[in-house]
Structure 1
Amino acid sequence: MTAWSEVEYTAVRELRGPLAVVAGVSGVGWDEFVRITLDSGERRYGVVLEVDRDTAVVQVLEDTSGMDPARLRVSFAGEPLRVPVGTGWLGRTCNGRGEPVDGGPPVFGEASAPVGGTPINPVRREPPADPVLTGVGVIDALTTLVRGQKLPVFSVAGLPHLELALQIAAQSTVGGAAFSVVFAGMGLTHADASFVRDALEERAAAAELVLLLNTADDPVIERILTPRIALTVAEHLAFARGHHVLVVMTDMTAYAEALREVSAARGEVPARRAYPGYLYSDLASLYERCGRIRGRSGSVTVLPVLTMPAGDITHPVPDLTGYITEGQIVLSRQPHALGVYPPVDALSSLSRLMRKGAGPGRTRPDHLDVAAQTLAALSRARQVRELSDLVGQGALSPTDRRYLDFDQAFWRRFVAQPRDEARPLDRTLDAVWQVLLTLPRSELALLPTALLDGHGARETPAGGEREGAEE
């Protein structure tokens, strides 16, 4: 519980939007938690944004509507916001401030922790290892998510990034170990918030989910707190309770917009595209809270989802996110226009830690070889597609035409899958093999001979169909 100061201040100089300016304060620090008591007895809370001598600027979490500055009592906690932590969060649905919206009692825990968190000692960090299987074939096969990794999803408006995030949150597993999901939604419409609750209902009922929902009409300061509360809860579950925790945060662009708005309210000098100059370090303070700790059995894996304004990958939010994280999953309009779900651009996507979590002893011995060969073939297929647009298919060689067949098979027979299907990894890799075997054996140079023999790869006669090929 927060230990509030017995000193209450009544000199509220002005209310300006979500800000309250309190004069005559003493010993108050930046980021301190604040309690505001109205004349009616109602209590609201806030965070200190700025302190200048004896004046504090407070961002009110519930906004300042209905407040009379002459009838307010303000008390300071002497410390940043803390939240209870523990397994009591599992199965609960809360707003962005951690207050229940599921009709249940307040969330209690055996301890409390500051939402700002503390960095993991680099000496005690363990490298990420072992996979988190999402059940989404193209991700599990080609951009494997690893326990302790931070792997963002880059998207644009109009693509099904929320659906993909929900599918991953609903069906991810780690192979029988204790597993939990913390889903932090920021700036959601009420329709999207309802969609999220319905999509994750089964995992919540199994007490494997913590759901934090910040809607678009909630105060912006709440949007800044939401991912921090999510990560604070996840850290305790992982490092004190031994769970493997996946934290899904969407949409980080909405978070960055809120940060920009608060920065403007503080009167800070803007940097690129009016974002604060500390956007990089602020994002890093969230993303770097994932990982594994030596001697602890749990892990925190972070999957942030962000939309790129106008599809611009050089926009500050995706640009800085790319510097901090270990790869990216990129969604593309082209497969989406063809009706392919999920519309993942495999050639633009990358998991830099995939070799730490896939291969012999972790997924399947042929996994890494198959992934490398698939990406190489997909790159060649894209070149052939561009050449075909220039000279026409009739001018292509028989082998080039096989690459066009491979390209179609890749999207239709491998990437495409129902939005509620949790595809097992063995079935995913078997589907990759079927697609690869549409190519002549001579084009599969990255695969060992033993693997090719084991899967019956044969040279296809020029211009002919491979015998036994599955339709």
Structure 2
Amino acid sequence: MNFTSIISEKINNISVEKNIIHIGEVKKFDGNIVYTDPFPAPIGSLCLIHDCHKNKIMSEVISFDEKYNMLAVLGQNPNLIIGCKVQLIDDGKNINIDERILGRITDAFGNPLDDKPLDKMKEEWPLMGKSMNPLKRKPVTKPLDVGIKIINSLLTVGQGQRLGIIAGSGVGKSILIKMMCQFTNADVVVLGLIGERAREVGVMVQSLFNNENENNITVVAVPADQSPLLRVRGANRATAIAEYFRSKNKNVLLIMDSLTRIAHAKREIGLSLGEQPTSKGYPSSVISMIPNLIERTGNSDTTNGSITAFYTVLADADDHNDPVVDTARAILDGHILLSRNNAQMGIYPAVDITNSVSRVMNEIIKQDHLEIAQKFRAHVSSYIENKDLMMMGGYVQGKDTLLDEAITLWPKIIDFISQKENEKINYSECISKLLKLYNG
């Protein structure tokens, strides 16, 4: 059952009670935005529009002024004419949530996409989250085992940390995400597949829900062909689910794939409302949305729960200075850059260790681990910087002690940073292998 049929079934089952009155009508439609009477409705409210064929079309209030309410249609190809009736059905501020969401795949409204029944859940949580006191947030103090050798040992992630995965196309991003979902030592895994191709969504879901941890995973999927408002709503819903479980003292892993597609959706909304594009076509609302979304994650200020978050950021044409990349990198607690050169050499995960950083690593690992990790980075950096010189035969051994060590260790280094996609290596084993590489 696809998204359109699910929404159609849901809204066709809505009974129009006598106390729900006609509160507005369509005044203008430009193909993107529906202009209606200025009835009282906050931004984010959900409305039903009755089109000329008596179909009910879901829409969302995205702006208003003294003349019009501006609504965005959440479906495709609406048959609207002037005078179509509009009904306010919900303020859109809360989602229904409880433990039954685990093991399920849902859309931006919480409708199941896996053809299984899902009764209305008992609790509510704000779609846009609850504000937290920054002074009461618990600090990141202990490592999180993600089951991936290069990250555990050289880019150690802290429980409650927020990181970006910056990658171009075809460098193994999806495989890395799948490994994290399956291997990470977390109570709950929330995966937001926002704006991705429907085929990739299907492949990812099938691989995740065929392993022993499937009952700890929930997926919010809003493919690229859906409304930009649904894509943004899907991102907020995935974050709200993670916040709910954090409030229950759970350690949550949130993976959002991708932050760039969410930014593109927000750009579509902003431009349709007449916002002026600034940096590379992005209006200011996009730049403000990114920190708002990211800051909802991390450690709690009231419970012992945490949200460790990874946001994938697509570097178009491998441009790592894109506005979305820059904004995300500034607000996140670190970033993992995937290298096309590593991917072309068959090194997976294709992490560029010299251009990746975990900002909390130094504070959560032991001193001997830190010293060896720094030495490892120095050897990789020295080898890469001098690779062309060595290929031309211009380097004479003995001139640079660090480079000599790197040349000797290089086969072991390549073996260390490589890992099969079905191979899980726990945190203590990763550190042991790193120390053994240097100490024998």
When the two structures are superposed, what TM-score results if normalisation uses the length of structure 1?
A: 0.83
Counterpart residue number, 2:218: 210
Paired residue type of 1:242? N
The answer to whether the Cα contact below 8 Å between 1:220 and 1:262 also exists between their aligned partners in 2 is: yes
Give 1:68 deviation, angstroms.
3.3
Secondary structure of 2:210's aligned partner: helix
After superposition, the Cα gap between the structure-2 partners of 1:173 and 1:391, relative to the gap in structure 1 and judged at 3 Å, is: same
Whether contact under 8 Å (1:242, 1:296) holds in the other structure is: yes
Distance 1:354 1:128 in 2: 10
What aligned pairs does 1:156-235 form with structure 2 within 5 A after superposition? 156-174=168-186, 179-202=187-210, 206-235=214-243
CA deviation after TM superposition for structure 1 residue 267, in Å: 0.8
Q: Tell me how far 1:8 sits from its aligned partner.
A: 2.4
Q: Once the two structures are superposed, what CA deviation does each residue of 1:78-115 show, in whole Å capped at 9, x if it has no partner?
A: 63442112212111101233221111224533222231
1:68 aligns with 2:68: no
Residues 379-398 of structure 1 mapped to structure 2, 5 A cutoff: 379-389=381-391, 391-394=393-396, 397=399
1:265 equivalent to 2:272? Answer yes
| The 10-residue stretch of structure 1 (397-406 or 371-380) with the greater mean CA deviation from structure 2 | 397-406
Question: Are the aligned partners of 1:346 and 1:375 in contact in 2 as well (CA < 8 Å)?
Answer: yes
C-alpha distance in 1, partners of 2:303/2:30? 47
Counterpart amino acid of 2:370?
A: L
Partner of 1:423: 425
Q: Letter of the aligned partner of 2:75 in structure 1?
A: E
Query: Are 2:233 and 1:254 equivalent residues in the alignment?
Result: no
Whole-angstrom CA distance in 1 between matches of 2:63 and 2:110: 24
The amino acid of 1:97's aligned partner reads: F
Q: Which residue in the other structure is 2:161 paired with?
A: 149
Conserved? CA contact 1:91–1:204, under 8 Å: no
Q: Which residue is 2:371 aligned to? A: 369
Matches of 1:113 and 1:131 in 2, distance apart? 29
Check 1:295–1:275 CA distance in 2 against 1; reply closer, same or farther (3 A cut): closer
Change (3 A) 1:344 1:285: same
1:34 alignment partner, SS class = strand
What is the alpha-carbon distance in structure 1 between the residues aligned to residue 430 and residue 206 of structure 2? 27
- AA at the equivalent of 1:405: T
Q: Which stretch has the larger CA shift, 163-172 or 372-381?
A: 372-381
CA separation of 1:430 and 1:47: change in aligned 2, threshold 3 A: same
- Cα distance, 1:398–1:70 mapped onto 2, change above 3 Å: closer
Is the Cα contact below 8 Å between 2:161 and 2:308 reproduced in 1? yes
Question: Residue type of the partner of 2:104?
Answer: R
Whether the 8 Å CA contact 1:393–1:401 is kept in 2: the answer is no
SS at 1:146 equivalent:
coil
1:298 is displaced (CA, Å) by 0.9
1:468 — aligned with what? none
Which runs of 5 or more structure 2 residues have no equivalent in the other structure? 1-13
Which stretch shows the higher mean deviation, 420-429 or 7-16? Answer: 7-16
Describe the shift of the 1:77–1:131 C-alpha distance in structure 2 as closer, same or farther (beyond 3 A).
farther
Q: CA deviation at 1:319?
A: 0.5
Whole-Å separation in 1 of the counterparts to 2:249 and 2:141: 15
Q: Which 5+ residue runs of structure 1 have no aligned equivalent?
A: 360-364, 437-454, 457-471
Show the 5 A alignment for 1:402-413.
402-411=405-414, 413=415
1:260-298 deviation line (CA, Å, top 9, x unaligned): 111111111111111011322210011001122244121
Q: Does the 8 Å CA contact 1:9/1:25 hold for their aligned counterparts?
A: no
Aligned to 2:152: 140
In 2, Cα distance between the equivalents of 1:283 and 1:81?
A: 19
Residue 414 of structure 2 corresponds to residue 433 of structure 1:
no
Judged with a 3 Å threshold, the aligned counterparts in structure 2 of structure 1 residues 113 and 44 are, in CA distance, closer, same or farther, namely farther
Q: Are the aligned partners of 1:86 and 1:111 in contact in 2 as well (CA < 8 Å)? A: yes
Give the residue type in structure 1 aligned to 2:407.
Answer: L
Q: Point out the structure with max Rg over C-alpha.
A: 1
> What is the percent sequence identity of the aligned residues?
22
Residue of structure 2 equivalent to 1:111: 123
CA contact 1:135–1:424 (8 Å) conserved in 2: yes
Question: Equivalents in 1 of 2:276, 2:369: separation in Å?
Answer: 49
Partner Cα distance (1:381, 1:261) in 2: 44
Give 3-state SS (helix, strand or coil) of 1:126's partner.
coil
- Change in Cα spacing, 1:107 to 1:213, as seen in structure 2 (3 Å) is farther
SS at match of 1:193: helix
Correspondence for 2:103 = 91
Alpha-carbon offset, residue 76 of structure 1: 2.2
Q: Does 1:53 align with 2:39?
A: no
Judge conservation of contact 2:298–2:308 (CA < 8 Å) in 1.
yes
Task: Indicate how the Cα distance of structure 1 residues 248 and 203 shifts in structure 2: closer, same or farther if over 3 A, else same.
Answer: farther
1:295–1:15 CA distance, 2 compared to 1 (3 A): closer
CA distance in 2, matches of 1:358, 1:46: 49
CA–CA separation in structure 2 for the residues paired with 1:7 and 1:372: 67
Partner of 1:347: 354
> Taking structure 2 as the reference length, what is the TM-score of the superposition?
0.89
The two structures, once aligned, show a CA RMSD in angstroms of 2.5
Which string of whole-angstrom CA distances, capped at 9 and with x for unpartnered residues, describes residues 128-170 of structure 1? Answer: 2222211110011111111111111000112111111111112
Structure 1 stretch 203-212 or stretch 117-126: which is displaced more?
Answer: 203-212
Cα contact 2:132–2:301 (8 A) shared by 1: no
Offset at residue 395 of structure 1 (A): 5.7
Q: Is the 8 A contact 1:184 1:230 kept in 2?
A: yes
Q: 1:54 to 1:108 in 2, by over 3 A?
A: same
**Contact 2:379–2:405 under 8 Å retained in 1:** no
Cα distance change on mapping 1:381 and 1:335 into 2, 3 Å: same
Is 1:312 the equivalent of 2:319? yes
1:126 counterpart residue number = 138
Evaluate the alpha carbon distance shift between residue 81 and residue 43 of structure 1 in structure 2; reply closer, same or farther with a 3 A threshold: farther
Deviations 1:7-31 (A, max 9, x none): 4235212333343221x23323333
1:50 CA drift (Å)? 1.4
